[in-house]
Amino acid sequence: MGRLDGKVAIISGGARGQGAAEARLFAAEGARVVIGDVLDEAGTAVGDELGPDVAAYTHLDVTDEDQWAAAVALTVAAGGVALAASPSEPRWDSPAVEQPQREEHQLVPARDAVTWTDSGWQVSPGWTVEKRIQNPMDYEPPRHSVAFELVNPPYHWLVLAVYDGDGGTSVSSVPATAGSLDSWLPGAVVNLRNLDGEPQPNPIHFGQGETLVPAEGVTILDQIPHPDLPASFAPEPARTAAALIKKDGRETFVLVRAIGGHEQVIPFTGDFHSLDAFLRFAVRQYDSGEGLL
């Protein structure tokens, strides 16, 4: 039984990126979803992917009160099996409903909710900070970093944000289904340091074919050669593999890809009960365009 069985949710901005990832996540947990966006072709494709019994797409400009009313009515009507909905004319029978009072702000995605200002890190309205870890990257000023666990029910995300000291901010984020902030953050820090020009020693590497070989002090607990991951992770015929490794008593999941002679190891620490469970999460992340970096 999923945690959202019997629930129906509106996912605004659900055509791509974080919104599409949340629609897939809600559906996987048993919810029916109404996907709202102005990107009709992409939004319809997400609805078709999830299936007519689970999802419907409706055109939704979040600045248009009438379109919000239609989306809310469609959602309230979705107590039974969902029928197909066209982008402009949803076809679930829609009873009249009172439109909820609008907030003074629109909820921004978690990865856009954290920004650096002259007064420090700011979190957009609507998000509650459950936990904050200051400067996990160990930067010296003018560079800064922070990690947050952010909640706005039913949304729950883990975020690592860095400010480069020259006006640029970059953010990594994953749904909290990956685990706790403390368990996810070490892998996220390693990934960001690799991207930041501070390469960390790889704990594993390819041996023959797509078999992984551990570095000294590393134990491979499980591995899967050439896992079934989207092309956004690595196009054919790139070498790919996934593994669960252990070093210094700590278990870490890793994805490995070799493209154009360059080998990249992507560590990810999370609360998954198996390598297969981690791979299912990775597939959703790369399908959504978010990835693990």
List all residues 6 or more positions away from 89 whose beta carbon is below 8 Å from its beta carbon: none
Residue 245 lies in a domain: yes
Q: How far apart are CA 178 and CA 151, in angstroms?
A: 14
Which one is predicted more confidently, 10 or 3? 10
Residue 2 lies in a domain: no
212, 264 Cβ separation under 8 angstroms: no
**What's the structural domain count of the chain?**
3
Q: Which H or E run includes 222? A: strand 218-225
The pTM score is: 0.53
Which residues make beta-bridge pairs with 218?
A: 247
Q: Where does a domain end: 163, 195, 227?
A: 195
Residue 93 lies in a domain: no
Q: How far apart are CA 225 and CA 207, in angstroms?
A: 11
3-class DSSP state of 155 = strand
The sign one gets for the Cα dihedral 81, 75, 159, 263 is: positive
pLDDT tens, position by position, 34-70: 888 888 888 898 888 888 888 888 888 776 777 877 7
Residue 104 lies in a domain: no
Q: What range defines the domain where residue 185 resides?
A: 110-195
Residue 234 lies in a domain: yes
247, 203 Cβ separation under 8 angstroms: yes
Look-up: residue for tokens 């992409």?
42
For the cut 80, the answer to whether the pLDDT of residue 233 exceeds it is: yes
Q: Where does a domain end: 195, 213, 243?
A: 195
pLDDT category at 5 given cuts 50, 70, 90 is confident
Q: Where does a domain end: 195, 213, 232?
A: 195
Tokens found for residue 132: 């904050």
Q: How far apart are CA 8 and CA 54, in angstroms?
A: 9
Q: How far apart are CA 51 and CA 206, in angstroms?
A: 38
269, 184 Cβ separation under 8 angstroms: yes
Instruction: Tell me, yes or no, whether 159 and 219 share the same domain.
Output: no
188, 180 Cβ separation under 8 angstroms: no
Residue 65 lies in a domain: yes
Q: What is the mean pLDDT of residues 180-205?
A: 81
Average pLDDT, the chain: 81
Instruction: Tell me, yes or no, whether 211 and 254 share the same domain.
Output: yes
pLDDT tens, position by position, 110-155: 778 898 988 899 998 889 999 999 999 999 999 999 999 999 888 8
What are the distances in angstroms from CA 206 to CA 71, 224, 235, 274?
A: 50, 12, 17, 21
Residue 158 lies in a domain: yes
Query: What per-residue confidence (pLDDT) applies to 107?
Result: 53
What are the distances in angstroms from CA 223 to CA 227, 261, 281?
A: 9, 21, 16
Residue 102 lies in a domain: no
